[in-house]
Amino acid sequence: MAHGWRALEQSLKPPYDFHLSFKATPPPPPFILERGVLRRCFEVNGDLIPVKIEPVGDVEEPGVMIYLPPDIDSKAEEIALSKVVDFLCGDVELNSVYEVMEDSPILRRMAKALRGLKPWSTPTVWEGLVDSIIFQQVSLRAAFAMMKELTERLGERVLMEGELFYGFPQPLKVASLNLEEIKACKLSWNKARYVKEAASKVMEGSFNLEGLKEEPTETALRRLGALKGVGRWTAELVALIALRRWEVIPADDLGVRRAFAKLFLNSTDTTAEEVRRIAKPWGRWRGLIGYYVLVSYEMGIRL
């Protein structure tokens, strides 16, 4: 694969199971996963850089081969590598999470069954916000169909060695479109309106999305909730997938409620308040352990 590419090996914090992680939660467009290799464009210093990601090593000594264009400069290379590690949550110390899970027999068995599972995170807060709006009240299949249309219609693309690499549509592009053009990407009127309004606020400078990374979690959630179409669930999802605030759990999510109800209450559903009560002892890892609970439920793992 290295022909025409610069190949760099990047180690990741163990344990990490690449294949399990993307089986549990497939990567959203513009990522393309083919034959075990991920590809997409990352925005680096205003340029679109095509990147391929291939797993190497094993769960206890994990790494990835990262393929970049051969003419990339050292600074852009450094940024691209950092973006890949962030996307894979390759710096997350799972052993600290498993220490908390040791206190519960169910969670202990879950950690063993899903050893090395990590979520993905979005390269920008903007991308995380748009993804979270699209995820509202639809199936994963429907959401991915919208994201695919959005990236292929509105995102920039790079052709390298016969393969297409897509980038995520930028706020400038989205803000310049009318609602009909955004709705053509299979979004509802409301979702098209929410995405366009958010893009416009970013472009006019009245909302610094990327600046939320520096804000305390409660402040970030409050500011996200001020955006049209962003309720508590959406804000909490952005906090997880874009800001990597692992203490946040989107307890209003139906799948999360059902997973907690089945695993902890022997029931079919429960309230968001009960989910938060159960998760409270997990401290700064509430959201990440909640993700394990959801994945184990969705994958039908016997505990």
Residue 292, domain member (yes or no): yes
Residue 109, domain member (yes or no): no
| Mean pLDDT along residues 240-267 | 97
User: How many folded domains does the chain comprise?
Assistant: 3
Same domain, 230 and 140: yes
CB-CB contact of 255 with 245 (8 Å): no
pLDDT reading at 3 higher than 90: no
If you average pLDDT over every residue of the chain, what do you get?
97
Rounded Cα distance between 242 and 237, Å, is 8
Rounded Cα distance between 211 and 174, Å, is 20
Rounded Cα distance between 97 and 102, Å, is 9
pLDDT tens digits, one per residue of 169-204: 999 999 999 999 999 999 999 999 999 999 999 999
- Predicted local confidence at residue 285, as pLDDT: 98
- Predicted local confidence at residue 187, as pLDDT: 97
Same domain, 233 and 272: no
- Predicted local confidence at residue 303, as pLDDT: 84
Please give the share of the chain, as a percent, with pLDDT higher than 90. Answer: 97
Residue 289, domain member (yes or no): yes
Residue 30, domain member (yes or no): yes
Residue 175, domain member (yes or no): yes
Same domain, 155 and 220: yes
How many degrees, rounded to 5, is the angle at CA 272 between CA 90 and CA 262? 80
Rounded Cα distance between 199 and 196, Å, is 5
| Mean pLDDT along residues 228-253 | 98
pLDDT tens digits, one per residue of 65-108: 999 999 999 999 999 999 999 999 999 999 999 999 999 999 99
Same domain, 148 and 195: yes
Q: Of 241, 263, 288, which residue sits at a domain end?
A: 241
Residue 14, domain member (yes or no): yes
Domain containing residue 36: CATH number: 3.30.310.20
> Binning pLDDT at 50, 70 and 90, where does residue 259 land?
very high
Same domain, 224 and 292: no
How many alpha carbons fall within 13 Å on the CB side of residue 38? 25
Which has more pLDDT, 268 or 1? 268
Residue 18, domain member (yes or no): yes
3-state secondary structure of 277: helix
- Predicted local confidence at residue 14, as pLDDT: 98
Same domain, 177 and 267: no
Query: What's the Cα-to-Cα distance from 243 to each of 139, 211, 237, rounded to whole Å?
Result: 23, 10, 9
Same domain, 273 and 208: no
Same domain, 82 and 161: no
pTM equals 0.96
Domain containing residue 156: CATH number: 1.10.340.30
pLDDT tens digits, one per residue of 31-57: 999 999 999 999 999 999 999 999 999
Q: Of 214, 241, 268, which residue sits at a domain end?
A: 241
Same domain, 154 and 198: yes
Residue 172, domain member (yes or no): yes
Same domain, 74 and 164: no
Which residues make Cβ contacts (< 8 Å) with residue 189, sequence separation at least 6?
179, 183
Same domain, 155 and 177: yes
pLDDT reading at 20 higher than 80: yes
Same domain, 224 and 175: yes
Omega prior to 69 cis, within 30 of 0: no
pLDDT reading at 1 higher than 90: no
Rounded Cα distance between 143 and 130, Å, is 11
pLDDT tens digits, one per residue of 150-168: 999 999 999 999 999 999 9
Q: What's the domain range around 205?
A: 125-241
CB-CB contact of 7 with 65 (8 Å): yes
